[in-house]
Structure 1
Amino acid sequence: MQKAIIMNTLQIDSVLLDEALKMAKQKNIDLSQMVESFIRNFVERSAKPQGKSKITPYVSRLGIDLDLPADFDEREAYRKYLEEKYG
């Protein structure tokens, strides 16, 4: 993987930057990795066709495409699951 060097300066709110630095330290990654990960995730999500149900970041990290229909209702599916389980 090639690394690009950004010649422009990003302007970030100082409070937000402090919080991001704390989180990066807790996760044992540097801020550049955190920002790159966010941008990559944003670009990949933007490139996917719209209309699918939103998938949580955790499930997305699993690398599984659930291919849910556009009209999938999570609450209704959960209600049916509970109904079947506790009937």
Structure 2
Amino acid sequence: MAACTGSPPSTQRLLCGGHLLPLDWQNCTLLFRSQTYSGSEIDIQLAVDGDTGKPIEWVDIDPEAFTENGGGRSSTALRRL
């Protein structure tokens, strides 16, 4: 099994339509694709627990991680099956 990991910090820039910024709710969908492998050959994981080696399935949101303009910081990892 080969692995390709996106090392933090990483930046994903999104454009979401907003009607009443900053008062409306924003819900954006991210679509990650590979130009080389099909969806059955890759497994996108949020992160792997350093102690157990198991994928992390949930995230605690830290309000301090958000900037004044509403942007946030995140990281992603790709693992090929």
Higher Cα radius of gyration: 1
> Which structure's residues are more often helix, by fraction?
1
TM-score relative to the length of structure 1: 0.25
Higher relative CO (Cα under 8 Å, sequence separation at least 6) belongs to 2
